[in-house]
Each structure stands twice: as structure tokens, then as C-alpha cells.
Amino acid sequence: MASTTLLTVEQYLNTHYEYEPEFEEGELIERSMPTTMHALLTTLLTVRLHEVGCCLIAARLRLSKDVIRIPDLCVYHEFPKEKLPTSPPFITVEIVSPDDRHERLLKKLEQYRAWGVENVWVVEPELKQFHVYDSRGLTQVDAFELPDLRIDGAELFLRASAR
């Protein structure tokens, strides 16, 4: 039986990684490599989300003492003062990669919600779908909506495929 070597948060934060993993309870959690469509959707969403706040791409967020997640995008009302933010953004966006495992995604989404993220959004490039995650789970939606912003899924995917 293989054993797992546990890391401290300090070891995790002070180690250079080729592609930054997440960290949970002493273990490194490998993230999927994004596709070119993933990268393009990240760019298009970032431009739109800057309209409502400070949009950060792949920023480390400290959800608890021993959990560090890296959402594809997150949005704060103001630029976080901490190098490793410990307060939740008001939006997180996960863009699903083909090799993402559904149960791992759901766990991460629930962690964001439990931490206090008001808007937990998921983009499924392969299916051309938007989802919102809340206490009821994942719900497919046509658009991501805030009082001052509406991002239409069909329009976003059309813009992405026109490139």
C-alpha cells in the first residue's frame, strides 16, 4: 500500500510548481491543464467581469487553515489586500476541462459556497452550458446574472467560436 507524504501549508506556498496545484489537508490536488477554448473563455469572461469588480485569474484563495483553492476566475468588490486572500470573493468561476472529475468539481464548488461565495458559476465549454451552484446543487442557466451585469451563454460561446 502506498503512503502519502503530507505537506504543510508553508511547504506548499514556498515550492515552485510547473502548473500550480491546489492544496487540501496536506495533499496536493492536481488541476487539469486548460484547453485553448478554456483560455479563450477565461479571457472573454475576465473582460466582462471587470465591469463589476476586480477580476483575478487563477489566484490562490485560502478557504480555511488547510485548504487552498485556485478558481479559474474570481471577482472581488475591491482588490484584496492580502497576498493570499482569506475572505471570499463575491464570484468564483470554474471552467470545466475535459479531464476534470465531476465529484472533485462538486466538492470544490461546495467548499466555495460554504466559505461564503455568493455566486458560484460553472462554464462547460464542451457542452456550451452555464451552471450556477447553490445549496440545491448545480442548475443549468442561460446566463450569469447580477443586478448590473448579464452574460448570455449562447452569445459568449458564439464569440468564442468565431475566433
Q: What is the domain count for the chain? A: 1
Position 79 in a domain = yes
SS3 109: helix
Residue 15 within any structural domain of the chain: no
Does 4 reside within a domain?
A: no
Higher pLDDT, 8 or 134: 134
143 lies in a domain? yes
The enclosing domain of 153 has a CATH number of: 3.90.1570.10
- Give residue 2's pLDDT band: very low, low, confident or very high (50, 70, 90): very low
Task: State the residue for C-alpha cell 489537508.
Answer: 25
* Partners of residue 74 on adjacent β-strands: 56, 92
56's CB contacts (< 8 A; 6+ apart) are 73, 74, 75, 76, 80, 89
136 is in which domain, residue-wise?
32-161
Structural domain contains residue 100: yes
- Contacting residues for 84 by C-beta, under 8 A, at least 6 apart: 13, 60, 61, 62, 68
Counting other chains too, the contacts that 34-40 makes at CB distance below 8 Å and 24 or more residues apart are 34/72, 34/95, 34/97, 35/97, 35/98, 35/125, 37/125, 37/160, 38/72, 38/95, 38/97, 38/125, 40/160, 40/163
The reply to whether 9 falls in a domain is no
**Is the whole model's pTM more than 0.85, yes or no?**
yes
Looking at the domain assignment, is residue 93 inside a domain?
yes
pLDDT by residue (tens digit) across 53-98? Answer: 999 999 999 999 999 999 999 999 999 999 999 999 999 999 999 8
61 located within any domain: yes
pLDDT at 1: 45
